[in-house]
Amino acid sequence: MTINMPSGVTELGAKDLGSLFHPNTNLAVHHANGPTVFTRGEGIRVWDDQNNEYIEGMAGLWCATLGYGDEELAKTAYEQIKKLSFAHLFAGRSHESAIQLADKLASMAPFRNARIFFGNSGSDANDTQIKLIWYYNNAIGRPKKKKIISRKKGYHGVTVAAASLTGLPPFHQGFDIPIPRIIHTESPYYYRGAEPGESEEDYATRLAASLEQLILSEDPDTVAAMIAEPLMGVGGVLLPPATYFQKVQAVLDKYDILLLDDEVICGFGRCGNTWGADTFHMKPHTISVAKALSSAYLPISAVIVPDFMYEPMIEASGEVGLFGHGFTYSGHPVSAAVALRTLEIYEERKLYDHVRRVTPKFQSRLSALGAHPLVGEARGVGLLGACELVRDKSTKEAFDPRLAVGAKCMAMCQQHGLIVRAIGDAVAVCPPYIVNAADIDDIFDRYQKGLDDTLSWASKEGLL
């Protein structure tokens, strides 16, 4: 293949174009534009290979909660590598970091007597969720009860089963996904999904009724679980309408269907409480965590499993001769040590309180962007938000997706030294927890400039 080198590409950028296969990237656009190559980070800021400085307004991928270059986490990793760089959990072997982290997570779980199963990513945690549900239902003699309900616009990862849970077309198209037994219900998207004049409560009632219809049409005896993020991040920062989870949960309870909570973005304080489930009144049966678990310093994920599921699996695995699921790096000692230190730092530095303290400023600056001529809706909770860009605010008319207006806005913000993320035409912002009030002003001043530049571009191009 001949590699086209876009103008202005740096030496590292050229190597990237020659050798890297980028995940979750429009490969055609990447080859036309080349990469932005980051070389260092400190606090909430990162620098590229031309020494341009940016505020990381997305905490990487909604994950670098403690920002960059934390000395204590670096020391923890270094010391654990020297002490015991690898140990595994297969065949009953164990080690201190995994035990201490499991103990800590179990004490934080919103249900009693939790068990912790470790993995390496949010995707594999959600794959594990599916396998555990299937194994559990086999163990308790319900071999028919296997289907998993997910939601359109939900994001649960990219491995074959997790991508099937994901309800976004680019993660299915061309990959022969979804696999059987995974079905999708409506997403809670009040801005676009509600009828004119419909209250949040009425909209939630309608969504719960549509879920019930789906369950009945599939046969409730074949439906095992529903998976949901407390709020949909990658789907466009979609907050559940008031009463949504109470109503959904009543339907699930009626048909003995478990609720799997994907806390990969929301877990550990992002929405203002330890769990997104607390913010949005979910009562989950199991939980997936990753990202903020280690502040993204090292890869690690976990599934938090309730006692009532674990117990029947003990006997079942005895009969089979093995509980045949797990990864070489399940509970990797260095990742686990860093994750444990991260959870301790959240408490020692009072970061849950800090997030709650700076949230009003963050949310008021975000909602002020709602007045911008391009912004149809500014929505968010805690230290997370998005502006949905529209062609016409009064009719909510969207731009033609091929114009990639959201991506344009993201690029404009980047020119002002702010990293945000375009999800279609919703432009998300999700900074590290360590932002202070001045940082928040800086972030939204830059965001406003990015929006203004996008507006000038759109009017010059005749798009309005």
Least Å distance between CB 156 and ligand PLP? 5
Give per-residue burial for 39-51: e unless 16+ CB within 10 Å, then b. Answer: eebebbbbebeee
Question: CB-wise, 61 or 108, nearer to ligand PLP?
Answer: 61
Residue nearest to ligand PLP (CB): 122
**Dist. CA 338–CA 342, nearest whole Å:** 6
Least Å distance between CB 371 and ligand PLP? 29
Cβ–Cβ < 8 Å for 227, 156: yes
DSSP 2: P
Least Å distance between CB 229 and ligand PLP? 5
- Binding interface with ligand PLP (CB under 6 A): 61, 121-123, 126, 155-157, 229, 233-234, 262, 264-265, 290
Least Å distance between CB 125 and ligand PLP? 7
Question: CB-wise, 227 or 451, nearer to ligand PLP?
Answer: 227
Least Å distance between CB 202 and ligand PLP? 27
Least Å distance between CB 233 and ligand PLP? 5
| Residue 343 phi, psi dihedral angles, 5° rounding | -65, -35
Question: CB-wise, 76 or 120, nearer to ligand PLP?
Answer: 120
Cα dist from 3 to 19, 32, 298, 385, whole Å: 10, 10, 33, 38
Question: CB-wise, 48 or 262, nearer to ligand PLP?
Answer: 262
Question: CB-wise, 146 or 270, nearer to ligand PLP?
Answer: 270
Cα dist from 252 to 188, 220, 221, 256, 339, whole Å: 16, 10, 12, 6, 33
Helix (H, G, I), strand (E, B) or coil at 48: strand
Helix (H, G, I), strand (E, B) or coil at 134: helix
| Residue 205 phi, psi dihedral angles, 5° rounding | -60, -45
Question: CB-wise, 122 or 272, nearer to ligand PLP?
Answer: 122
Give per-residue burial for 55-78: e unless 16+ CB within 10 Å, then b. Answer: bbbbbbebbbbbbbebeebeebbe
Enumerate the β-bridge partners of residue 149. 183, 226
Question: CB-wise, 121 or 273, nearer to ligand PLP?
Answer: 121
> Where would I find the beta strands (DSSP E) of 89-192?
115-119, 147-151, 182-185
Least Å distance between CB 65 and ligand PLP? 14
